[in-house]
Amino acid sequence: MMDIPATAANPTPIRELQKRYTLALIIIAALIFISQVVVQRTVLATMDDSHIVNIAGRQSMLSQRIAKEVLILDTLPADQQRASLEALTSTLDLWEDSNYALQFGNAQMGLPGGNSALVNQLYLEAGSYLNSILSSGRCLVAHYRGTAAGDCAALTPDELRTTILTNEGPFLSWMDEIVFQYEAETTTAVKVIRLASAVLMFVTMISLLLEGRFIFRPIARRLQSTLDALHTTQRDLMDANTYLEQRVRERTQLLQQANAELQTANEEIRDYMSFVTHDLRSPIASVRGFLHELTLDLTDLRKTINGAYPSATALLEDSIPEAVTAIEVSNNQLDRLTHQLLDISRQGRRELDSMPVDLNTVLKQILQVYAPQIAESGAEVVIPAPLPAVESDPVLMEQVFTNVISNAIKYLDPTRRGKITLQAKNEKDRVVFSVGDNGRGIAPDDYDKVFKLFRRAGLQNTEGEGIGLYHVRNLLRRLGGTIWFESQVDSGTTFYFSIPNKLARGEA
Amino acid sequence: MNKAVRVLLVEDELVHVKLFERNVKRFGANLIVDVVDNGQHALDYLATYAQKPAAENFAVLLDLNIPVLTGFQVLERMRKNPKMAKLPVIVLSTSDDPEEMARCKALGVEHFLVKPISYELLMRILEAAPV
């Protein structure tokens, strides 16, 4: 009733789920890494692009400044003109450097170079105007400083000014073109990156969904089924427990009931036994009384006839006394039987005493009572050592010893000299007594009859009703002891019985 | 037995009554025997007797195992009735149960005889009884 329900159909093995989970983690980590790289690249590219656009814008501004300086040079007084020439020279240098850096990259200026083919083409287009402005500007400065030589000396400052101004317009347009192109390219790159980000995010989400579908759902299902199974098991266990408790309660109640019934029955039986034996004893007493009367009458009759009638005399001397004796023997047997039955029912009722019992005195008294029988059979009773002191019920102890000893005497072998040995041995918390005889012994077939009521083992040629040992066993039970025996046919029997060192008072 | 003694034999079994009568006859005892066969009749008899006690000595011979009221019930009621309380009772029982004996003694019974009783003993008791 406690079988664990089968788990959900076809559960994915845990190891497989672990593999999947590891794989999913790797994929998601990779996706996150890639996303980060892409984002970082995007940020960097955007920063470069804005820088490029700034520098490119500055180039337009620088070219305008050059044009302005060139136009105002003549109007300036001599000292200001010198400073202006310095400024013009450095502006030209910066302008040239920046242009180079924009085209080919310069780490100091934070320019990566590496432009697209289209931008490079535009730089080439703008390059000729730039070069014209540069050479004309430098030549013009040389003129003002009076250091013009070679080709430069051949050109007039006005010509140079014109060249600069005519080239400036186209250069600005080309620069605008370049800036525009840069911006266009940046926009495209940002678009691509955005798309990539979106794709990555999508892929990541799909991965998460797949993870959910192929890892977390099976795990959840598995956990659920495990929990269900546990729950069912727990419920079953609780049910089983409740059921068992119920059963135990029921059984206990039944047992108590049965016990109470047994006790009542037992008491009823005892009362009934007592009643019956009392009733039985009345006719027995009456028979005994009338037998006595009959004997007296017979004596009178014998005197009256005084041998006058031989046949009547024969009846009076032999036949009638024999019949009377037979009735007497049977009646005495009945008397003993009912007496012992009464004893049993009486002992069942009596509260036990626990007091020191001097078994040696008890034994002496018993042996005195049985002295005639012992003498008659020529037996000897040997007690090698004094019996130990015990605390028990004196009445029951006496009955136990009386019964066991009379039993030993009764079953002695008439063909040899009887010997009864009485011994005691102290054990941990009990005393074991033994009463051994060299009597006729008990046949193994009769072993189970020994302690039964109204059963007698062996030859039925001795007096007895089969109550003695049954009674002894009951007495010993009440005393908290037990009885057993060892026997060998034709060589004797030893009865052993034990009692506790100290009988608990009031024990029943 | 010089002086006549009256006894009330409370006995329901005819054979025992008969046995008793035969023995009384044999001993030639100067005994007046009244017989009742159950406990209630015994009490009725005693109630009448207590009204006008006879001149003779008197004793109750009580069997314990009798119908209607048991011997013990008769004893208990006798002891509660001031007019009967002092009447001597000799119990006749079929068993020598020490418990029964103790109970009888507690109810003031001095003599407890086990059936079949010894008539010599009974006669001696009746003779000695200072009733």
Q: Which residues does chain A have within 8 Å of residue B114's beta carbon, measured at their own beta carbons?
A: 285
Better pLDDT: A358 or B54: A358
B65 min Cα distance to partner chain A (Å): 8
Contact: A289, B19; criterion CB under 8 Å = yes
Q: Examine the pLDDT at A9 and tell me if it is beyond 90.
A: no
- Which residue in chain A has the smallest CA separation from B64? A278
Contact: B15, A283; criterion CB under 8 Å = yes
Average pLDDT for A264-293? 82
Provide the number of CB pairs (under 8 Å) joining chain A to chain B: 45
Contact: B65, A279; criterion CB under 8 Å = yes
Burial A346-365 (b: 16+ CB within 10 A, else e): bbbeeebebeebebeebbee
Residue A507: predicted pLDDT: 42
| Cα–Cα distance, B120 to A459 (Å, whole number) | 41
- Which residue in chain A has the smallest CA separation from B100? A346
Q: Examine the pLDDT at B122 and tell me if it is beyond 60.
A: yes
Of A45-59, A173-187, A296-310, the range with the lowest mean pLDDT is A45-59
Classify B81 as helix, strand or coil: coil
Q: Examine the pLDDT at A460 and tell me if it is beyond 60.
A: no
Average pLDDT for A284-295? 90
Binding-site residues on chain B for chain A (CB distance < 8 A): 13, 15-16, 19, 22-23, 26, 65, 94-95, 97, 99, 114-116
- Give the pLDDT confidence of B57-99 residue by residue, as tens digits: 889 999 988 889 989 999 999 999 888 888 889 999 888 777 7
User: Which DSSP letter does residue A315 get?
Assistant: I
Contact: A282, B26; criterion CB under 8 Å = no
Contacts 24+ apart (CB under 8 A), A47-55: A48/A110, A48/A111, A48/A112, A49/A182, A49/A183, A49/A185, A49/A186, A49/A189, A51/A110, A51/A111, A52/A102, A52/A111, A52/A112, A52/A182, A53/A179, A53/A182, A53/A183, A53/A186, A55/A98, A55/A101, A55/A102, A55/A109, A55/A111
A311 min Cα distance to partner chain B (Å): 28
Average pLDDT for B36-55? 87
A271 vs B: CB within 8 A: no
- Main-chain phi, psi angles of A200, to 5 degrees: -60, -45
For residue A112, name the pLDDT band (cuts at 50, 70, 90): confident
Better pLDDT: A284 or A373: A284
Q: Measure the N-to-C terminal CA separation of chain B; round to a whole number of Å.
A: 14
Q: Examine the pLDDT at A3 and tell me if it is beyond 60.
A: no
Residue B129: predicted pLDDT: 65
Contact: B19, A286; criterion CB under 8 Å = yes
* ipTM of this predicted structure: 0.79
Contact: A289, B99; criterion CB under 8 Å = no
A286 vs B: CB within 8 A: yes
Across the interface, of B26, B97, B116, the residue whose CB is closest to A288 is B116
Residue A396: predicted pLDDT: 85
User: Which DSSP letter does residue A389 get?
Assistant: P
For residue A5, name the pLDDT band (cuts at 50, 70, 90): very low
Contact: A286, B26; criterion CB under 8 Å = no
A289 vs B: CB within 8 A: yes
| Cα–Cα distance, A355 to A391 (Å, whole number) | 5
A289 min Cα distance to partner chain B (Å): 5
A270 vs B: CB within 8 A: no
Average pLDDT for A403-430? 86
Of A108-122, A321-335, A344-358, highest mean pLDDT:
A321-335
Contact: B65, A278; criterion CB under 8 Å = yes
CA dist A138 to A2, A60, A64, A408, B65, Å?
104, 18, 16, 157, 165
Contact: B13, A290; criterion CB under 8 Å = no
Burial of B46 (0-12, 13-18, 19+ CB in 10 A): buried
Contact: A342, B115; criterion CB under 8 Å = no
For residue A10, name the pLDDT band (cuts at 50, 70, 90): low
| Cα–Cα distance, B95 to A343 (Å, whole number) | 10
Q: Which residues does chain A have within 8 Å of residue B16's beta carbon, measured at their own beta carbons?
A: 282, 285-286, 289
A318 vs B: CB within 8 A: no
Contact: B99, A281; criterion CB under 8 Å = no
Of A27-31, A112-116, A132-136, A435-439, the range with the lowest mean pLDDT is A112-116
For residue A25, name the pLDDT band (cuts at 50, 70, 90): confident
Better pLDDT: A449 or A305: A305
Cα B56–chain centre separation: 15
A342 vs B: CB within 8 A: yes
Binding-face residues of A in 123-162 toward B, CB within 8 A: none
Contact: B95, A282; criterion CB under 8 Å = no
CB distance A67 to A164 below 8 Å = yes
Contact: B115, A277; criterion CB under 8 Å = no
Q: Which residues does chain A have within 8 Å of residue B14's beta carbon, measured at their own beta carbons?
A: none
Max CA pair span of chain A = 215
- Give the pLDDT confidence of A333-366 residue by residue, as tens digits: 888 888 877 777 776 666 778 888 888 988 888 8
Among residues A412, A356, A501, A447, the alpha carbon closest in space to that of A421 is found at: A412
A277 vs B: CB within 8 A: yes
- Give the pLDDT confidence of B21-35 residue by residue, as tens digits: 988 888 887 888 999
Average of per-residue pLDDT values in chain B: 87
Q: Examine the pLDDT at B2 and tell me if it is beyond 80.
A: no
Residue A466: predicted pLDDT: 62
Burial of A214 (0-12, 13-18, 19+ CB in 10 A): middle
Cα B55–chain centre separation: 18
| Cα–Cα distance, A340 to A274 (Å, whole number) | 11
CB distance A324 to A291 below 8 Å = yes
Better pLDDT: A347 or A98: A98
Residue A214: predicted pLDDT: 83
- Give the pLDDT confidence of A464-497 residue by residue, as tens digits: 556 678 888 888 888 889 999 998 888 888 999 9
A278 vs B: CB within 8 A: yes
Among residues A279, A297, A300, the alpha carbon closest in space to that of A289 is found at: A297
Residue A8: predicted pLDDT: 46
Contact: A282, B13; criterion CB under 8 Å = yes
Residue pointed to by tokens 């310095």:
A86
A285 vs B: CB within 8 A: yes
What length does chain B have? 131
Of A35-39, A57-61, A236-240, A454-458, the range with the lowest mean pLDDT is A454-458
Q: Examine the pLDDT at B115 and tell me if it is beyond 50.
A: yes
Share of chain A above pLDDT 70, in %: 93
| Cα–Cα distance, B75 to A360 (Å, whole number) | 41
Burial of A198 (0-12, 13-18, 19+ CB in 10 A): exposed
Residue A1: predicted pLDDT: 45
Rounded to 10 degrees, the C-alpha dihedral A41/A43/A45/A50 comes to 180
Among B94, B97, B101, B121, which would you mutate to test the A interface (most chain A Cβ atoms within 10 Å of its Cβ)?
A: B94
Average of per-residue pLDDT values in chain A: 84
For residue A6, name the pLDDT band (cuts at 50, 70, 90): very low
* Beta bridge pairs of residue A127: none
Complete DSSP assignment for A191-238:
HHHHHHHHHHHHHHHHHHHHHIIIIIHHHHHHHHHHHHHHHHHHHHHH
